[in-house]
Structure 1
Amino acid sequence: MTGPGDPQVPDFEAERPGERRVARVLLDSSLPQLDHLFDYAVPEALAGEIRVGHRVRVPFRSQQRNSRGYVIGFAARSDFGGELQPISEIVGPVPQLPPELWRTARAVADRAGGSACDILRLAIPQRMVRVEKQFLAALEESCGATGTAEAEPRGGGRDPSDPRFSPSVAERETAESLAAGERFAVLPPHGPTRLGTGEWVGAWAVSLARAALAVHALGRSAIIAVPDYRDLDQLRDTLASLGGAEVLRVDARQSKGERYAAFLRTLVSKPCIVLGNRSAVYAPAHRLGAIFLWDDGDPLLSEPLAPYVHARDAALVRASLSREEDAGEPIGLWFGAHARSVEVQRLVEIGYVRAGAPARRTRVVHADASVAPEAFAGRVPDFAAQQLRRGIADGPVLVQVAAPGYSPASVCGGCGERARCASCGGPIGFRSPGRGSCRWCGDAVAAWACPSCGNRSLQQRGAGSQRTVEQFRRQFSGFRILLSDGDHPHERVDSRPALVVATRGAEPIAAGGYRAVVLLDAERLLGIESLRAGEDCLRWWQNAAALAAPDGIVVMASGGGPVVRAFVTGNAEAWLREELRDRQALRYPPSVRVASVSGGPSEVERALAALGELPGVDVLGPAPVAERSGDRARGADGTPNPSPEPGRYRAIVRFDYSLGDEVAKRLRAALVADAAGASSRAAGRGARGRARHTALRLRFDDRGVFDG
């Protein structure tokens, strides 16, 4: 075997207890009152094999009741005055929680007012005994044969004999800056690129993959986090084409065994590239050099589970921890997108992130901003239709629409009021002709009646993807027409002539790029009741424009105003700066941070009282939460509750970034007190096994907190 200083030895040698006989254990529990370390005795039988990071079983509340937890560290003595319970057993031979991952989970949870275990559940997949045994056997065989885990060049993470990838001078300089802890905001070029293996991918995927491989060539690991499987597949193909690095997938489409095997590989002392979705930012990759985040404005990168941390914020926290004293090597950040988010733009404005030079953009023209869409003869104006006909003669063309289905909205045929579901209050739309249903709960509306006038007829409003295809089959008869949306997904189309109708985010890649891209429904998208409607529109439009061929054209079919003007003129950065100034004046995120505090009226009041008179903190509310009627009117089995629980209230706390730690600490303390208090224990769980309706809940940095 090689010496202990050799980075290729996968010995999993975490810290041992030595003469210390007290283990500090984090219980694997979502209860906020248990989110701290407990002291347990290290029994003599386990002293020789237990390590920091091991998962263990420990008695909790009684000798007969065991809980699971992680060993965080060891101490010579405990402050606990009584007799310590001993650790029952070690769960598995591999320490799953490296110190760096623990520090990251703790810091991320503290920033979001949450529990560290909730973060660790995202980072550490479910243990699979069979996979673990196979992995350890393969490692033992590899070490026995070569003396190291694998034959890896000592000069870095890439095999220099592999001719497929060699970083340019600029790429090597960028990689060295990232490995030194620099932070970049990059706008990659538009257009598709053909790989050496024949696949077509976005040029952004090649830029990102080459940057990650350049970091890996320095002997450092790289983590790449992307919103969805389409982006992941493009990067997987690109990295495979360029070669030169071991790529570990960490995403929801893997089986449990595949996910756990990839996690075990990240624990090995060898640089790698981790590719996955939002939880990939927590991967314990060896000698991590940089975290790459693509399209951070996409809401898919925001974790839907408590404590609801966005992948961008987790990456920022992890990188900042790497720059602390004795934290090891620094970690760089690379934020890439065709349309920069306001959060990253703020970081650029304050000098925390360095903005790269904008790359080539597709030519954009406006059909006619002065004509309303309803005035067009057909789905698109004449100018846009001409561009589609010209483009389809040479190859595929793309039409982006706002919504899937047949008709996204409907109104009462009698009084014209917006039709809403009687069960949950959601909007009624049509997934297909004549089949109306609620867009929130999915209930059919065959027996719908207008609450205002009693009329039972519905009139469709707007055109979804299916209705657009129906109209195009008449307007563009003789051409091949394809539909790509959530129900009819297409990842790629060939270079033959075709008219592709796609909802935003479901646009397939075309071989060679689209000859023309037409963007419909700008008014509808800009009218979404959201603080982020403008930046989301820029992101949707830029992502579609990036699919055009180098000599293609993008046509904005209709719409006007600052956002449309910024897109058409290519001056989105100026619009973002103005947007940030407006939000600063109004104290809207990201100029300030926000926390949503919800629960019963007394619970919310107690939490707000814990904030005291902190300067730089203001509170909106509390006010009743507008609930959908089905949320609390029925029990777990679907039957009506005999006595509905009282309504919930919500307050929005706004605070300066410098106060983030203090606000999170105080609100978290209120949450723990609410969960552990006598009233909570007495209330227990509500009717039919449902959680206590008035329990306090926190959510920091919710992107939709001000949405309608």
Structure 2
Amino acid sequence: MASRRTARRGERTPAATLPVARVCVDVPLAHLDRAFDYHVPEHLDAEAVPGCRVRVRFGGQLVDGFLLERVATSEHPGRLAFLDRVISAEPVLAAEIAALARAVADRYAGTLTDVLRLAVPPRHARVEAEPSGEAAEPPRRPAADGWRRYPRGPAFLDALHERRPAHAVWQALPGEDWPARLAEAAAVVAATGRGAVLVVPDHRDVARLHAACAALLGGHGVVALSADLGPAERYRRWLAVRRGVVRVVVGTRAAAFAPVADPGLLVVWDDGDDLHADPHAPYPHMRDVLMLRAHSSGAALLLAGFARTAEAQLLLDSGWAHGVVADRDTVRAAAPRVTAIGEHESQLARDPAARAARLPSVAFDAARSALSAGAPVLVQVPRRGYVPLLACANCRAPARCRRCAGPLGLAAGADGEAPRPPACRWCGATEAAFRCAACGSRRLRAVVVGSRRTAEELGRAFPGVAVRTSGGGEVLAAVPARPQLVVATPGAEPLAEGGYGAALLLDGWALLGRADLRAAEETLRRWMTAAALVRPAGEGGRVVVAADSSLAAVQALIRWDPAWHAGQELAARAELGFPPAVRMAAVDGSPAAVADLLDGVNLPGSAEVLGPVPLERADGAERALVRVRRAEGRALAAALRAAVAVRTARKDPDLARVRLDPVELL
């Protein structure tokens, strides 16, 4: 009994050195977004290291947290509680990542706890006990001759080798083997003993880039991090990075927080892809995360892609980054020939099968020529499915369900069967006796034709030619170099051995006509991603885009000049007062919650409140937009976070959601 009392008294004795631990508790409330001080008991002195996971008593309950640092004294005037226990002595939270998470939370008006959930994966005790091995020797600097096609390419690699914090925007040439180029840049950094983090949109890009890096660095010199690995394997690879065994990391969103020691290069491929925007609070964009990390760590930053965003253009215009772009002669030699056509009936091919497939004569001839030459043809359509949207054939009003007012669409039947009757895409109810509420007509027409219906029509237009689809849950990685039609949705285009002979970009109006601030920029990005898979014009490569040639996005595609289009976009947004020319916050919630938050916020001097306006949602939510000058973006985030903290402290049940610079504004 006496020994037990002595043990309990020992637990209440603070450690002799640095007895105070500052802990980030796992409580996602804005008014509690700060570190709390606890005493380190003497028996946990060796285990309670900065970065480890701990459990503490907070608000009468035991909660998890991260030990941020240990200090000699506390500024808290009251009595400090003791750490309950150390969950694991593994220092999973590096000081650099903790500082980065704090900077991301401050930029996006979020909490540190929310960002740490994105940065540190859940623990697996069995994996933690496994040995991680030893770090491989730094590789030799590769030749990287592919970068010589870009006048500033070799200079950028030299800056990486000399450990200078270079910032660049790389405009990849059409047909460029971009995984090989990024792998060469990572190898140059690894040769100096520093680390590299390369972030790509999806798992297919991860596989390609990981294979390219492994070819230069060896299988043990690079690790891939993505959500589809499974919790245990992902934690195993993440620990190898944290323990310094691996220097180069390739992955999707969460890889931006990979705890690479001494990072020398941070890369975002295709930063305009909306997959780089995290859907969880505080909704950070990985481009901004890596910019913050580059600023704090002194690492080089590379934004890369076939297209260019307005945000990347702003970095170039401000002088913060420099462009790595090929000269115009090199671009013309690498690009396919691009032809723009309208979508009027007069431009359809005279061939009845081509008319049924909605192919204008130019597109039909381009596809037929490529197939005759033995090359595959890529057909990009905006939507998957059969006929996802229907409208009245008489007045063109959207066809809606009589029960829930949802949109009507057509689903494909089983193999060899006719399509199913029109059905609601919300409630699933069949609408066998449609009558337009506006004009009374019973006839329907397709608003958008999906990939499956397009594949069916192309099969009739090109008898004897194999037709394959890629999109949704069935995404092809690659197709062989033989005559075939590949119908794909944007982002699901497979690679073709030797390149496609032609690409048909259909239904351009469906992409350009979206009610979205970034519609033109996103459309051009999707078009250029598909067109970059086509052979050069000198080898017969053709791209046919079904859109008006007078549009800026179409002109940029024809000339293969995304830099010009990005400059136009940035100038237009600056004139209209939209990001990235300004900082903007979207406040969503019930009318009462939005009004209460805006009434209680102390906005910066240049702030302008737009709205609120109703959202097309069943819960009656509203949205208000708040914009300020870029120089006051930090102040706007702090003011909104303080207003949210007041509401959480009052325990208001109806909370408003705050997002800074959201990808979708309209």
Asked if Structure 1 and Structure 2 have the same fold, meaning a TM-score greater than 0.5 normalized by the shorter chain, the answer is: yes
Structure 2 vs 1, CA of residues 621 and 18 (structure 1 numbering), >3 Å: closer, same or farther?
farther
**SS of 2:48 mapped into structure 1:** coil
Local SS of the residue matching 1:23: strand
Amino acid at match of 2:269: W
Quote the Cα distance in structure 1 between the aligned partners of 2:72 and 2:346: 75
Q: Which among 571, 581, 597 is matched to residue 587 of structure 2? A: 597
Q: Which residue of structure 1 aligns with residue 65 of structure 2? A: 69
State the alpha-carbon separation in 2 of the partners of residues 677 and 373 from structure 1: 65
Scaled by the length of structure 2, the TM-score of the pair is 0.88
Match of 2:292 in 1: 317
Residue of structure 2 aligned with 1:348, choices 302, 308, 316: 316
Distance 1:544 1:316 in 2: 28
Matches within 5 A, 1:114-133: 114-133=110-129
CA distance in 2, matches of 1:437, 1:109: 44
Where does 1:249-328 land on structure 2 (aligned, <5 Å)?
Answer: 249-270=224-245, 272-322=247-297
Instruction: Tell me the alpha carbon deviations over residues 305-337 of structure 1, each in whole angstroms, 9 at most, x when there is no partner.
Output: 110001101111111122xxxxxxx11111111
Matched residues in 2 for 1:386 and 1:570: separation? 22
Give the one of 363, 385, 388 matched to 1:405: 385
Q: Which of 21, 24, 29 does residue 26 from structure 1 map onto?
A: 24
Q: Report the equivalent of 1:659.
A: 632
Amino acid at match of 2:553: V
Deviation at 1:532, TM superposition (A): 0.9
Q: Aligned partner of 1:266: which letter?
A: V
Matches of residues 446-485 of structure 1 in structure 2 within 5 Å? 446=431, 450-452=436-438, 458-485=444-471
Q: What secondary structure is seen at the aligned counterpart in 2 of 1:482?
A: strand
Work out the CA distance in 2 between the residues paired with 1:431 and 1:451.
Answer: 23
Shift of 1:166: 4.3
1:221 maps onto 2:221 in alignment: no
The corresponding residue for 2:9 is: none
> Deviation per CA, 1:395-452, whole angstroms, max 9, x where unpaired?
211111121111132124675421134676543322322254445x463443776544
1:401–1:132: structure 2 CA closer, same or farther, 3 Å change rule? same
Residues in 1 aligned to 2:511 and 2:240: alpha-carbon distance in whole angstroms: 43
- The code of the aligned residue for 2:463 comes to S
Whether the 8 Å CA contact 1:250–1:274 is kept in 2: the answer is: yes
Distance 2:496 2:252 in 1: 24
Unaligned runs of 5+ in 2: 1-13, 350-354, 413-418
CA–CA distance in structure 2, aligned partners of residues 673 and 103 of structure 1? 25
- Output the amino acid matched with 1:529: A
Matched, 1:334 2:302: yes
**Correspondences of 1:90-169 after superposition (within 5 Å):** 90-134=86-130, 138-139=131-132, 149-150=134-135, 152-153=136-137, 157-158=138-139, 165-167=142-144
Question: Alpha-carbon deviation of 1:90?
Answer: 0.5
User: Deviation at 1:668?
Assistant: 0.4
Q: 1:520-559 residue pairs with structure 2 within 5 A? A: 520-550=506-536, 551=539, 552-559=541-548
Paired residue secondary structure (1:431): coil
Aligned residue for 1:385? 364
8 Å contact from structure 1 (residues 411, 417) kept in 2: yes
Q: Does 1:513 align with 2:499?
A: yes
Structure 2 CA distance for partners of 1:488 and 1:19, relative to 1, 3 Å? closer
C-alpha contact 2:348 2:361 (8 A) present in aligned 1: no
Q: What amino acid sits opposite 1:390 in the alignment? A: S
Q: Which amino acid in the other structure matches residue 555 of structure 2?
A: R
Aligned length in residues: 622
Give the Å deviation of 1:177.
2.0
Distance in 2 (alpha carbons) for counterparts of 1:123 and 1:460: 44
Give the whole-Å Cα distance in 2 for the aligned partners of 1:71 and 1:423.
55
Q: Find the counterpart in structure 2 of residue 181 from structure 1.
A: 165
TM-score calculated relative to the size of structure 1:
0.83
Supply the RMSD in Å over aligned alpha carbons. 2.4
Moved more, 176-185 or 16-25: 16-25
CA offset digits 1:634-663 (Å, max 9, x no partner): xxxxxxxxxxxxx43321001112111111
Q: Which stretch of structure 1 is more off in the superposition, 265-274 or 532-541?
A: 265-274
8 Å CA contact 1:598–1:648 kept in 2: the answer is: yes
Matches of 1:397 and 1:676 in 2, distance apart? Answer: 59
**Take 2:94 and 2:483, find their aligned partners in 1: how far apart are those partners?**
53
CA-CA distance at 1:172 after TM superposition: 6.7
Quickly say closer, same or farther: Cα 1:609–1:462, change in 2 above 3 A.
closer
Q: Which residue of 1 aligns with 2:39?
A: 41
Q: 1:253 aligns to what SS in structure 2? A: helix
CA separation of 1:44 and 1:422: change in aligned 2, threshold 3 A: farther
Contact 1:604 1:650 in 2 (8 A): yes
Residues of 1 paired with 2:242 and 2:156: CA distance? 26
**Kept after mapping to 1: 8 A contact 2:340/2:554:** no
Q: After TM superposition, give the deviation of residue 224 of structure 1 in Å.
A: 0.7
Aligned amino acid, residue 139 of structure 2:
R
Identify which of 572, 585, 588 aligns with 2:578: 588
**Identical-residue share of aligned pairs (%):** 36
Contact 2:222 2:246 in 1 (8 A): no
Which residue identity is paired with 1:35?
Answer: D
How far residue 119 of structure 1 moved from its aligned partner, in angstroms, is: 1.1
Partner of 2:657: 697
Deviation of 1:575 (Å): 2.3
Q: How many Å separate the matches in 1 of 2:521 and 2:490?
A: 14
Give the gaps of 5 or more residues in structure 1.
Answer: 1-15, 143-148, 192-201, 323-329, 633-646, 681-691
* Other-structure match for 2:182: 208
The one-letter code of the counterpart of 1:664 is: A
Q: Distance in 2 between matches of 1:611 and 1:659?
A: 15
Looking at structure 1, the residues matched to 400 and 321 of structure 2 have their Cα atoms a distance apart, in angstroms, of: 45
Q: Counterpart of 1:52?
A: 50
Q: Which residue of 1 aligns with 2:4?
A: none
CA displacement 1:430-482 (0-9 Å, x = unmatched): 2322254445x463443776544677764433322111111111111111111
Alpha-carbon distance change, 121 to 237 in structure 1, aligned in 2, over 3 angstroms: same
1:362 to 335, 341, 357: 335
AA in 1 matched with 2:164: A
